[in-house]
């Protein structure tokens, strides 16, 4: 069966390249229905609609980065169990990618113009983390998810109160991110050094400020 097929390095390279192109192009398939499906529609002013779209574009970029991180970390993981965890988390993050892309369309907006840059930079970071060993790589996941949780919490404060569809998506994303961080912790994550955490936070701020507009 395909799910159990052994991929040699060339296979993984081809699969990874194909996935990267699909992520950058905004092509994603969700395995779960969007949490926004049963949320009521709301009347948004033009300013509120632009603000919701900017925030959801930031969230979509975060998922582009997550795909790149998990793809690179899975590719260079030393343990099959840890590789499987990265692959599973990546599949769940693809739901987020599809949900946020769909919501952007509903809001009459577009994906970030800089998606190729976001993906390439995140893939490089994930590769560096993975080359430092599985424990450090898992620690990178824990810190990344911690920062993402804080970022999503701030969006729940910023989104228009009546934008129930965007809020439902962000709430489910936050739940999933908590579990991904906890799973990495259980597998033996090594704490990320404080200077690296600070650098990650700074890079995150640059990304969010830029992706809101571009």
Per-residue pLDDT tens digits for 18-49: 677 667 766 777 889 999 999 998 899 999 99
Query: Does the annotation flag 6 for ligand binding?
Result: no
pLDDT band at 8 (very low <50, low <70, confident <90, very high): low
Q: Is 93 annotated as a binding residue?
A: yes
Q: Which tens digit of pLDDT belongs to each residue from 98-123?
A: 999 999 999 999 999 999 999 999 99
- CA 171/CA 185 separation, integer angstroms: 22
Q: What does the pLDDT read at residue 16?
A: 62
pLDDT band (50, 70, 90) for residue 90:
confident
What pLDDT score does 4 carry?
42
Q: Does 5 score more than 60 pLDDT?
A: no
Quick check: helix, strand or coil at residue 134? helix
Q: Is the pLDDT of residue 176 over 70?
A: yes
Q: Name the DSSP class of 147.
A: H
For 45, left (φ over 0), alpha (ψ -120 to 50), or beta? beta
pLDDT digits (tens, 9 = 90+) for 130-168: 999 999 999 999 999 999 999 999 999 999 999 999 999
pLDDT of residue 61: 95
Residue 43 assigned to a binding site? no
For residues 87-98, give the mean pLDDT: 90
| Residue with tokens 């999933």, as numbered in its chain | 176
pLDDT tens-digit series, residues 50-82: 999 999 999 999 999 999 999 999 989 998 989
Q: Which residue has the higher pLDDT, 27 or 179?
A: 179
What domains appear along the chain, each with residue ranges and CATH number? 43-210 (1.20.1260.10)
- 145 belongs to an annotated ligand binding site: yes
* Residue 180, marked binder: yes
Q: How many angstroms separate the Cα of 132 from the Cα of each of 85, 174, 194? A: 17, 27, 16
């Amino acid at each position: 069966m395909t799910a159990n097929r052994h991929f040699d390095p060339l296979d993984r390279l081809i699969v990874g390249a194909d996935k990267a192109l699909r992520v950058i192009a905004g092509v994603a398939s969700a395995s779960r229905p969007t949490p926004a499906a049963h949320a009521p529609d709301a009347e948004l002013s033009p300013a509120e609609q632009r603000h919701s779209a900017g925030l959801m574009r930031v969230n979509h970029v975060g998922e582009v980065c997550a795909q790149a991180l998990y793809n690179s970390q899975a590719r260079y993981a030393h343990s099959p169990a840890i590789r499987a965890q990265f692959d599973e988390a990546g599949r769940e993050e693809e739901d987020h990618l599809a949900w946020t892309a769909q919501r952007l369309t509903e809001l009459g907006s577009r994906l970030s113009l800089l998606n190729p840059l976001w993906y390439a930079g995140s893939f490089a970071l994930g590769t560096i983390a993975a080359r430092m060993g599985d424990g450090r790589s898992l620690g990178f996941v824990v810190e990344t998810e911690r920062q993402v949780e804080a970022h999503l919490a701030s969006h729940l404060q910023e989104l228009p109160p009546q934008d129930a569809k965007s809020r439902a998506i962000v709430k489910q994303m936050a739940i999933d991110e908590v579990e991904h961080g906890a799973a990495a912790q259980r597998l033996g994550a090594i704490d990320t050094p404080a200077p690296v955490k600070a650098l990650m936070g700074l890079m995150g701020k640059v990304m969010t400020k830029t992706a809101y507009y571009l």
